[in-house]
Structure 1
């Protein structure tokens, strides 16, 4: 887990709860309408995305309110990349199946005074994520950032031209995206989003919470014991 003061320290598991245990016990009620436009029984994870004003992103079938899985993540954090590789697809499957509500909180955990290069890389990636305004494109861009994650200490990682290229690849309008990415407003918003996460007692990334309780993110959640 990447922490505020150290990019390479993994925090010990606080509460080794299996997400599936809660998932199995939940009966989901699907309603017939929802103002955010998500179709009933949406077929893909990207169909489930809602972008919220505070920078967080919800992935859930309409009507699904619990259990809630919160993921605080930093695109430059190697442990966040590990978590995404280990459990990212499982989370998407559960969301599509209507078993869980996922809330992503992209942020920058690295402090500029401690790790200036790593902070700047992370900050650029976070800005880029916040500049994705089409909910159906957000998840694809999110995945591109982890696919192309640079080394933590690579100066100039997540270069602007690369971030724009990833946007082009997933079908985001390049001109508007680039203008947002280079704006002072997007930089300020990225800083605000990160500070908000820190007020929620997030001390490292990834921080993964099930119904408000920190859980073990490091082991695969998919397996025979988790089959519903």
Structure 2
């Protein structure tokens, strides 16, 4: 999808996946079908606590003084690009206890008739119970297929996250145990008023979208610094 079309859907964004159904997975650098990858910073991500708070997944210390909201859809190729670039700029302030991240996991890209986003968000919710959310989410985005996520692919991605696979997690993935929560997470995303993903909100305001800095780790670190995070 052309950047101009994405900007029209997102309003303030330079590029992204629009809630009208356009965008989809398979952004630049998407792996070949069936390829499973992990994050190069998986060891650091594995140490981050995560907990469910209503329709959100909160990563980092619960008493962190600042909160950043991150809105993503697992099938959005631009979200995968963000997680591999600008998303890493949030890691240090989260590790240091300065920031906690509230993830709003959207599934609007399934409106085209696919079910990959719903399946992926369901699996991500299950990974919280196993204490593996941050590491698994990074692996899910790194392994984003050109089409929809399947249960089989989500389980193979989980194989790359030590300690995640087990009867409870596998059952939740295969049975869609958190389908109700997935629906609530989508409603929470829609309630923000944002029209697409990825989006990062600091004090309720989008950052890094107009200038595209969210797709460059160093540039996004400067953007966050201007908002008083990690400065």
Same fold (TM over 0.5): yes
Structure 1 pair 141/55, CA: closer, same or farther in 2 (3 Å)? farther
Instruction: Report runs of 4+ in structure 1 exceeding 4 Å deviation.
Output: 223-228
* Deviation digits for residues 74-132 of structure 1 (CA, Å, limit 9, x no counterpart): 111011111112212211112112332221111212252xx112xx1111111110111
Contact 1:57–1:104 (Cα < 8 Å) also in 2: yes
User: Is 1:189–2:185 an aligned residue pair?
Assistant: no
What SS does structure 1 have at the residue aligned with 2:194? coil
Which of 158, 162, 178 is residue 153 of structure 2 equivalent to?
162
Would the alpha carbon gap of residues 102 and 184 (structure 1) be closer, same or farther in structure 2, given more than 3 Å must change? closer
Compared with structure 1, are the counterparts of its residues 135 and 180 closer, same or farther at alpha carbon in structure 2 (3 Å cutoff)? closer
Provide the C-alpha distance between the structure 1 equivalents of 2:165 and 2:95, rounded to a whole number of angstroms: 27
RMSD between superposed Cα atoms in Å:
2.5
Of 105, 112, 116, which aligns to 2:113?
116
* Structure-to-structure mapping, 1:1-228, within 5 angstroms: 1-8=16-23, 44-61=44-61, 63-66=63-66, 68-112=67-111, 115-117=112-114, 120-134=115-129, 136-151=131-146, 154=147, 157-170=148-161, 171-217=163-209, 218-219=212-213, 220-222=216-218, 228=231
Relative to structure 1, the CA distance from residue 65 to residue 158 in structure 2 (aligned partners, 3 Å threshold; closer, same or farther) is same
Distance 1:96 1:132 in 2: 20
- Asked whether the equivalents of residues 110 and 118 of structure 2 are also in contact (C-alpha less than 8 Å), the reply is no
Within 1, Cα distance between the matches of 2:139 and 2:44? 17
Q: What is the rounded CA distance, in whole Å, between the counterparts of 2:119 and 2:153 in structure 1?
A: 11
CA shift for structure 1 position 189: 2.1
CA 1:111–1:179: 2 relative to 1, 3 Å: closer
Question: Contact 1:208 / 1:216 at 8 angstroms: preserved in 2?
Answer: yes
Query: How has the CA–CA distance of structure 1 residues 111 and 148 changed in structure 2, closer, same or farther, with 3 Å as cutoff?
Result: closer
**TM-score for both structures, normalised by structure 2:** 0.71
